Structure formats: structure tokens, C-alpha cells
Amino acid sequence: MTTAALIILTMAIPLATAVISLAVRNQPNLRDSVTLAGAVALFICVLTVLANFNMGLPFDFELIEFQPGIAIAFHVEPLGMVFALVASSLWILTHIYGIGYMRGNNEKNHARFFACFAVALFATMGIAFSANLLTLFLFYEVLTVSTYPLVAHKENAEAKAGARTYIGILMGTSIVLLLTGIIWTYVITGTMDFSPGGILAGKVEDGFVPVLLGLFAFGIGKAALMPFHRWLPAAMVAPTPVSALLHAVAVVKAGVFSILKVGVYVFGIDNLAATGASVWLMWLAAFSILVASLVAMQQDNLKRRLAYSTISQLSYITLGVALATSMGAIGGGLHIVTHAFGKITLFMCAGAIYVATHKTEISQMRGLGRKMPFTFIAFGIGALSIIGIPPLAGSWSKWLLVLGSADAAQVRSMLGDPSWPQLIMIGVLMVSSLLNIAYLIPVFARGFYGSHRDVAPEGGWRAAIQEAPLFCVLPSCITAFGCLVLFFYAGDIAGFLEPMTAAIPASTNGEGQ
């Protein structure tokens, strides 16, 4: 099968899944198996794309001409490949988890829920394989609109308010800032194609580069860069599978992925480094990292705490771009993967706790770890990975980011600029790790220590276990295990990502041919 057909398939499968699951909405088992089959098929399909990509097959494909000279087009490159793999593999687990959660929790409107979920995946695939800014923007907005019903799922006043913030900020920023940035870029350069080394280099006056970068960095509201981060905590009213896959992986990662892609393929890392246009973004990212961590510490609601943690972690990736070194960008790319596995574990655990006990506040979770040992251990592994403790995956991406900061400092000093801001970033990353410990470990620790010691179960600890349904627990254990496995493969992923920052395409994978 040609790669063109495969790329169509990666988008057609989730879309078809959505349609079919709506068509058979009255037969729950059939509906859920169809969706599961769709998720598996998608993953296989993405794997095939990967295989083709590694063989160096052609992978440029124009779907339709939008306007003379501008097409909706797709293109496979390392970053998008990694993103698609992460999203499609985690969709399978989240779907299994979602079945358990939705049934265990007696939620309504399953068909709409899973259909919107599939459409969101369709949009994610489109973003991952987009070949130009227009395609990216198109699927970016599809993702916004398709996730709106998921956020508003409960249809109560709280959900409505949350959904309003969600759509307001995401649509507002994308229409006002991102679209302006895209059209401005198009008018300046006459093209919108992502191309290695960037398309803007030398086309814009240096003074305007930071402005344009600002339009993109803030316009991509999904990256939750402060001060446009409020939609993410607001989106936590959604059922937990949504928070897990979409607001820890697909949607937010689509945001930082877009920033990475724009930084690498539109601005160009070298261009950013030469103009110093991204220094302000670096500061802002550092600010977001620290402040969001501090806010996270204040939250008692577990999902809100995780949401602020996500905001902080997303800014790591933005920071990776803003450092304007290839090491930073690769670190950012790797962090997309490692954070995805870590955070989805945490969210799935939060959901499992809710299904089993209906508790949402951390202060209520004293001693729960004894009742739900698997959930809490998975949570602990996810937390440690996010903190960045070896041998868990998160340690690698953080390490690369630190290296990237050091590299950036070196680049600055070679250019004759002061290099202390980049060195401070190393400090920021370190402090942030400490803050991660401060807000994640207590949740875990509280589960095992505390007052439940005196309420010793009568029939021994085995009888006391009240885990959530298997469908809820198993996926989080798998992703926690994934955090461990990824530690050993992080080098391969980083190596895979490396060609993206090379201005001159490496011949083997035919970058940009």
C-alpha cells in the first residue's frame, strides 16, 4: 500500500469508527468493540506508516487544493511520526479504560462520547501528519470543536461553564493570534509548507520575528502557555478518560507539537538562535513552569493539581523550542512522549480512584493506597517518571533539556551575547523537579500513610482491596510499565528525532524531498 493511502487510512479509520459507533449506538457491546477494533487498526496503520517511513518511501501527499497554490497536504516527518505513535497507542489503552470508567460510573451518552473521542483522534492524526500551516490549522480547529462536547459531557452548570472557557480561549486565541500569524507568514514568504531549516529565515526583519513568534506561541492556546492556560483546569470537568487522553496527551500535545513544528520548520532553529527572537519565550516558559508548579501545590482537587502540573510540563517543551538548539528541540520532542506516558498514568489512576470511591480531593485520600494498591503504585511510578527519576522515562527528556540549555548558553556566548539566562534555565529545570516532588509525592504518600492504620481490616489486607473495575486499573498499570520500558528506548527515540533539526536533509529518510 502506498504511504498516501496509508495516511488517508490513518484519518479514515477514526472517522469511520466515529460514524459506526454512532450507527450502532444502541448496542453497547458491539459499539465498544467496534471502537476498540478501530483503535487497534489505527495503531497498526500508524506502525505501517512508520515501517514505510523507515524504508524511506515517499510520503508527500496532497489531498485537495484549497486555493490556487495552497493545498491541504500531508507529509511524514520524525516528530509527527512520534506524536502519531504516542496518540494512537495510548488511544487503545484509553478506550479500554474509558469502557470501564463510563460503565463503572454510569455516565450517559456513551455513543456521543466515543464518537467525539474518535473524531478527536482523527484531528490528532491530521495534525501529526500535516505538511503545511493551513492543514495544521484546519485539524487544530477540528480538534477544538470535537472535544467541546466531551468537556461539556455532564451537561450541568459546571460543565457548561468549563466548556465555555474551553472553547472561548482555544477558539479565541487560534482565530485572533494563530490565524493572523499564519496569514502573515504566508504573505511574507509566499508559502506555508513546513520545511527543514524554516521558511522565514531572512524573509522578515529581525524586529518582527519575536512578534511573529508571539502570535504563534500564544495563538496555539492548546500549549497552555501562561496567561492562556485557564482552559486546561476548566476542561477537568470532563470525564476522566477525556482528561487522560486528550488533556494529557492528544490536545495539549497537539499544542506543543505545533509549537515545536512551527519553531523547527517555520522559524528554523538556527534562525531563532541567530536572531535571539525566542529569548523572551524562554523566560515566559520558565515562568509558566515555576508558577504552574506552585499553583499545583495549592490544589486539593487531584485532577486540577494534575492539570496545573500539565501546564508546567507543557512549558518544558515550549522551553525546548525557545532554547533554539537542536538538543533542546529533541528534548522537547522526547518530552512529548515521556510526559504522555507519565501523565496519562496519573490521570487514569485519578479516574480509577473516582470510580471506586467517588473521591476527588486529595485530602480525602488518606490510606486509600491500602485499598487500591495497584492504582497507587501505578500512580507512584507515573509521578516518579514525571519528576525525572531514573530508571523512568521522564529522566531522559529532562536531561536532554538541561543539555539543551547548556548548549544554548554556549551558542549565546559564541555569538557574544550574555549566556547567563540560558544557565538560569538549568536552575529552573532543577527547581521545577523539586516542586514536582513536592506536589506529586504527597498524593502517593498519603495513600499509604495515615489514619487508616487504626482501622485495620478484619480479614487481612487482601479482603480490604476495593480496586476499581479491571478495565480501569489494567491500562494504568500498562502505561506505568511503559514509563519504565521507555527509559531504555529513549535514546532510540531521540536518535529518530534527530534529523528534524538538521537544516540539510539527511539522505536516508528523504527529509523534504
**Which is nearer to another protein, 178 or 250 (by Cβ)?**
178
Cα Rg, the chain, nearest whole Å:
22
Tell me how far apart the alpha carbons of residues 513 and 502 are, in angstroms, rounded to a whole number.
Answer: 14
Minimum Å gap between C-beta 152 and another protein is 6
Q: Give the interface segment with another protein, choosing from 180-188, 274-282, 296-304, 357-365 (CB under 8 A).
A: 180-188
- In angstroms, give the least distance from the CB of 155 to another protein: 5
CB 60 within 8 A of CB 73: yes
Q: Under the criterion CB under 8 A, does residue 172 sit at the interface with another protein? A: yes
Number of other CB atoms surrounding residue 93 within 10 Å: 24
- Kindly state the smallest distance separating residue 8's Cβ from another protein, in Å: 14
Q: Which is nearer to another protein, 90 or 178 (CB)?
A: 178
- Region binding another protein by CB under 8 A among candidate stretches 96-104, 178-186, 346-354, 368-376: 178-186
Q: How far apart are CA 192 and CA 230, in angstroms?
A: 30
Compute the distance between CA of residue 134 and CA of residue 73 in angstroms, rounded to an integer.
Answer: 9
Nearest to 151 by CA among 177, 170, 129, 178: 170
Task: Give the Cβ contact number of residue 350 at 10 Å.
Answer: 27
Owner of C-alpha cell 527572537? 277
Report the residue number, 181 or 404, with the smaller CB distance to another protein: 181
Distance between CA atoms of 200 and 267, rounded to whole angstroms? 5
**Binding map of another protein across residues 316-355, x = CB under 8 A, - = no contact:** ----------------------------------------
Contact 314, 362 (CB under 8 A): no
Gap between the Cα atoms of 119 and 222, Å rounded: 17
- For another protein, the closer of residues 187 and 463 by Cβ is 187
Place of cell 492539570: 307
Residue 126 or 268 with smaller CB distance to another protein: 126
CA 283, CA 161: separation in Å to the nearest integer? 31
Which helix (H) or strand (E) segment holds residue 393: the answer is none
**Cell matching residue 497:** 528525532
Q: Which is nearer to another protein, 133 or 322 (CB)?
A: 133
Q: Give the contact letters, 9-48, x = binds to another protein (CB under 8 A), - = no.
A: ----------------------------------------
Stretch that binds another protein, among 9-17, 93-101, 179-187, 359-367 (CB under 8 A): 179-187
Among 16, 62, 184, 360, interactor with another protein by CB under 8 A: 184
Q: With CB under 8 A as the contact rule, which of the stretches 45-53, 144-152, 344-352, 414-422 interacts with another protein? A: 144-152
| Nearer to another protein (CB atom), residue 155 or residue 361 | 155
Contact residue for another protein among 171, 424, 437, 503 (CB under 8 A): 171
Residue 40 or 138: the one with the smaller Cβ distance to another protein is 138
Beta carbon of residue 2, minimum distance to another protein (angstroms, whole number): 22
Q: Which is nearer to another protein, 139 or 487 (CB)?
A: 139
Q: Which member of 176, 291, 389, 403 binds another protein (CB under 8 A)?
A: 176
Size, binding site for another protein by CB under 8 A: 32
Instruction: Out of 33, 165, 180, 413, point to the residue binding another protein (CB under 8 A).
Output: 180
Return the number of the residue (177 or 314) whose C-beta is nearest another protein. 177
Choices 9-17, 26-34, 175-183, 281-289 (CB under 8 A): range interacting with another protein: 175-183
Q: How many helices (H) and strands (E) does the chain have?
A: 21, 2
Task: Please state the closest distance from residue 236 (CB atom) to another protein, in A.
Answer: 18
* CB nearer to another protein: pick between 155 and 300: 155
Measured torsion, CA atoms of residues 167, 168, 170, 175, in degrees rounded to the nearest 10: 120
d(C-alpha 419, C-alpha 324), whole Å: 13
The footprint of another protein on residues 113-142 (CB under 8 A) is 134, 137-138, 141-142
Mind spelling out the 3-state secondary structure of 48-107?
HHHHHHHCCCCCEEEEEEEECCEEEEEECCHHHHHHHHHHHHHHHHHHHHHHHHHHHCCC
Contact 394, 483 (CB under 8 A): yes
164 versus 359: smaller Cβ distance to another protein: 164
* 231 CB-near residues (< 8 Å, 6+ apart): 165, 166, 168, 169, 170, 221, 224
| Least distance between another protein and beta carbon 22 (Å) | 10
CA angle 206, 424, 433 (to 5 degrees): 120
CB 202, min distance to another protein, A = 19
Does 437 interact with another protein (rule: CB under 8 A)?
A: no
Strands annotated E in 178-311: none
Nearer to another protein, 163 or 368 (CB): 163
Residue 67: beta bridge partners? 70
Under rule CB under 8 A, which residues in 64-83 are in contact with another protein?
Answer: 64-68, 72
Cβ density class 34-69: b for 16+ within 10 Å, e for less? bbbebbebbbebbeebbebbeeebebbbebeeeeee
Q: By the criterion CB under 8 A, which residues form the site for another protein?
A: 64-68, 72, 134, 137-138, 141-142, 145, 149, 152, 155, 159-160, 163-164, 167-168, 171-172, 175-177, 179-180, 183-184, 186-187
